Protein backbone atom coordinates (compact mmCIF):
# COMPACT_ATOMS: atom_id res chain seq x y z
CA UNK A 1 0.00 0.00 0.00
CA UNK A 2 1.21 3.49 -0.84
CA UNK A 3 0.61 5.82 2.09
CA UNK A 4 1.99 9.03 0.58
CA UNK A 5 3.25 10.30 -2.73
CA UNK A 6 5.47 13.30 -3.39
CA UNK A 7 6.76 14.59 -6.72
CA UNK A 8 9.75 12.20 -6.58
CA UNK A 9 8.92 9.60 -3.94
CA UNK A 10 6.50 6.94 -2.80
CA UNK A 11 6.16 6.27 0.93
CA UNK A 12 4.77 2.78 1.14
CA UNK A 13 4.42 -0.41 3.11
CA UNK A 14 7.51 -2.55 3.38
CA UNK A 15 8.18 -5.58 1.18
CA UNK A 16 10.42 -8.55 1.89
CA UNK A 17 12.66 -7.47 -0.98
CA UNK A 18 13.42 -4.29 1.02
CA UNK A 19 15.26 -6.31 3.67
CA UNK A 20 18.54 -6.74 1.73
CA UNK A 21 18.97 -3.04 0.81
CA UNK A 22 17.77 -2.10 4.32
CA UNK A 23 20.47 -4.32 5.82
CA UNK A 24 23.09 -2.83 3.51
CA UNK A 25 22.07 0.69 4.58
CA UNK A 26 22.04 -0.20 8.30
CA UNK A 27 25.48 -1.80 8.10
CA UNK A 28 27.03 1.22 6.36
CA UNK A 29 29.32 3.00 8.86
CA UNK A 30 28.72 6.32 7.09
CA UNK A 31 24.93 6.07 7.41
CA UNK A 32 25.22 4.87 11.02
CA UNK A 33 27.88 7.33 12.20
CA UNK A 34 25.45 9.10 14.55
CA UNK A 35 24.29 5.82 16.11
CA UNK A 36 26.16 3.65 18.62
CA UNK A 37 27.04 1.05 15.96
CA UNK A 38 26.04 -0.24 12.53
CA UNK A 39 23.42 -2.98 12.64
CA UNK A 40 24.02 -6.62 11.88
CA UNK A 41 21.73 -8.45 9.46
CA UNK A 42 19.95 -10.02 12.44
CA UNK A 43 19.42 -6.62 14.09
CA UNK A 44 18.09 -5.21 10.83
CA UNK A 45 15.64 -8.09 10.48
CA UNK A 46 14.40 -7.49 14.04
CA UNK A 47 14.07 -3.76 13.29
CA UNK A 48 12.18 -4.55 10.05
CA UNK A 49 9.75 -6.68 12.07
CA UNK A 50 9.22 -3.92 14.65
CA UNK A 51 8.56 -1.42 11.86
CA UNK A 52 6.05 -3.65 10.04
CA UNK A 53 4.33 -4.57 13.31
CA UNK A 54 3.92 -0.91 14.26
CA UNK A 55 2.47 -0.09 10.83
CA UNK A 56 0.01 -2.98 11.16
CA UNK A 57 -1.05 -2.07 14.71
CA UNK A 58 -1.18 1.73 14.50
CA UNK A 59 -1.87 2.31 10.81
CA UNK A 60 1.11 4.65 10.56
CA UNK A 61 4.81 4.27 11.12
CA UNK A 62 8.16 4.33 9.40
CA UNK A 63 7.35 4.07 5.69
CA UNK A 64 9.66 2.53 3.13
CA UNK A 65 10.80 5.26 0.72
CA UNK A 66 10.96 4.41 -2.96
CA UNK A 67 12.17 6.73 -5.70
CA UNK A 68 9.57 6.98 -8.46
CA UNK A 69 11.84 7.20 -11.48
CA UNK A 70 13.71 3.93 -10.89
CA UNK A 71 11.74 2.22 -8.07
CA UNK A 72 14.89 2.16 -5.89
CA UNK A 73 14.57 1.62 -2.12
CA UNK A 74 16.10 4.71 -0.47
CA UNK A 75 15.43 4.08 3.23
CA UNK A 76 12.61 5.13 5.52
CA UNK A 77 10.78 8.23 6.70
CA UNK A 78 7.82 8.40 9.02
CA UNK A 79 6.56 8.06 12.54
CA UNK A 80 7.45 5.96 15.54
CA UNK A 81 5.73 5.75 18.91
CA UNK A 82 8.40 6.05 21.61
CA UNK A 83 8.19 5.42 25.32
CA UNK A 84 11.67 5.48 26.81
CA UNK A 85 12.68 7.10 30.09
CA UNK A 86 12.49 10.84 29.33
CA UNK A 87 10.12 13.53 30.57
CA UNK A 88 8.58 14.08 27.11
CA UNK A 89 7.57 10.40 26.65
CA UNK A 90 5.41 8.81 25.54
CA UNK A 91 5.20 10.53 22.18
CA UNK A 92 5.43 10.28 18.42
CA UNK A 93 8.78 10.76 16.73
CA UNK A 94 9.21 11.73 13.11
CA UNK A 95 12.41 10.21 11.81
CA UNK A 96 14.34 9.23 8.71
CA UNK A 97 17.27 7.17 7.55
CA UNK A 98 18.36 7.14 3.92
CA UNK A 99 21.17 5.54 1.98
CA UNK A 100 24.28 7.74 1.94
CA UNK A 101 24.17 8.12 -1.84
CA UNK A 102 20.73 9.73 -1.43
CA UNK A 103 21.85 12.48 0.94
CA UNK A 104 21.83 16.16 0.01
CA UNK A 105 19.12 15.73 -2.61
CA UNK A 106 16.18 16.93 -0.51
CA UNK A 107 14.59 13.47 -0.20
CA UNK A 108 14.39 13.48 3.61
CA UNK A 109 12.89 16.97 3.69
CA UNK A 110 10.42 16.16 0.89
CA UNK A 111 9.25 12.95 2.52
CA UNK A 112 9.15 14.33 6.09
CA UNK A 113 7.18 17.39 4.97
CA UNK A 114 4.62 15.12 3.31
CA UNK A 115 4.43 13.02 6.48
CA UNK A 116 3.74 16.08 8.63
CA UNK A 117 0.99 17.28 6.30
CA UNK A 118 -0.55 13.81 6.28
CA UNK A 119 -0.41 13.63 10.08
CA UNK A 120 -1.96 17.08 10.42
CA UNK A 121 -4.87 16.10 8.16
CA UNK A 122 -5.45 12.43 8.97
CA UNK A 123 -3.59 10.93 11.90
CA UNK A 124 -4.71 10.79 15.54
CA UNK A 125 -1.94 12.90 17.07
CA UNK A 126 -1.36 16.65 17.18
CA UNK A 127 2.37 16.89 17.82
CA UNK A 128 5.62 15.18 16.96
CA UNK A 129 9.15 15.18 18.28
CA UNK A 130 12.43 14.53 16.59
CA UNK A 131 15.75 13.96 18.27
CA UNK A 132 19.29 13.06 17.38
CA UNK A 133 22.84 13.28 18.68
CA UNK A 134 24.17 16.83 18.94
CA UNK A 135 26.75 16.14 16.23
CA UNK A 136 24.11 15.14 13.65
CA UNK A 137 23.83 18.50 11.92
CA UNK A 138 22.36 17.11 8.65
CA UNK A 139 19.35 15.68 10.50
CA UNK A 140 19.02 18.85 12.53
CA UNK A 141 18.87 20.81 9.27
CA UNK A 142 15.98 18.60 8.07
CA UNK A 143 14.18 19.27 11.37
CA UNK A 144 14.55 23.00 10.79
CA UNK A 145 13.45 22.80 7.14
CA UNK A 146 10.24 20.98 8.08
CA UNK A 147 9.30 23.68 10.57
CA UNK A 148 10.26 22.05 13.85
CA UNK A 149 11.43 24.12 16.81
CA UNK A 150 14.41 23.21 18.96
CA UNK A 151 13.33 22.77 22.57
CA UNK A 152 16.47 21.71 24.40
CA UNK A 153 19.18 19.13 24.86
CA UNK A 154 18.84 15.91 26.84
CA UNK A 155 20.94 12.92 27.79
CA UNK A 156 19.63 9.87 25.93
CA UNK A 157 18.90 7.27 28.64
CA UNK A 158 20.01 4.34 26.44
CA UNK A 159 23.57 5.67 26.25
CA UNK A 160 25.99 5.61 29.15
CA UNK A 161 27.39 8.69 30.83
CA UNK A 162 30.27 10.03 28.81
CA UNK A 163 29.28 8.24 25.58
CA UNK A 164 30.11 10.60 22.69
CA UNK A 165 26.52 10.36 21.36
CA UNK A 166 24.74 10.60 24.72
CA UNK A 167 23.74 14.24 24.42
CA UNK A 168 20.83 14.74 22.05
CA UNK A 169 18.89 17.71 20.69
CA UNK A 170 15.10 17.68 20.97
CA UNK A 171 12.85 19.28 18.36
CA UNK A 172 9.06 19.61 18.41
CA UNK A 173 6.17 20.58 16.17
CA UNK A 174 2.48 20.82 16.99
CA UNK A 175 -0.58 21.69 14.92
Q: What is the pLDDT of residues 91-113, one digit of tens each?
A: 999 999 999 999 999 999 999 99
3-state helix/strand/coil string of the chain: CEEEECCCEEEECCCHHHHHHHHHHHCCCCCCCCCCCCCCHHHHHHHHHHHHHHHHHHCCCEEEEEECCCCCEEEEEEEEEECCCCCCCCEEEEEEEECHHHCCCCHHHHHHHHHHHHHHHHCCCCEEEEEEECCCHHHHHHHHHCCCEEEEEEECCCCCCCCCCCEEEEEEEEC
pLDDT for the residue numbered 164: 97
Domain that holds residue 140: 2-174
Tally of domains within the chain: 1
Percent of the chain exceeding pLDDT 70 equals 100
Predicted model pTM: 0.97
- Mean of the pLDDT values across residues 51-77? 98
CATH of the domain at 165: 3.40.630.30
Q: What is the pLDDT of residues 134-172, one digit of tens each?
A: 999 999 999 999 999 999 999 999 999 999 999 999 999
Amino acid sequence: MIHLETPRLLLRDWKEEDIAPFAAMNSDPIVMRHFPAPLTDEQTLAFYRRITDELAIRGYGLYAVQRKDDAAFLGYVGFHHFDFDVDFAPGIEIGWRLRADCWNRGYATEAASACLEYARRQLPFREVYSFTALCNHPSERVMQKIGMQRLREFAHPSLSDGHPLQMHMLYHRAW
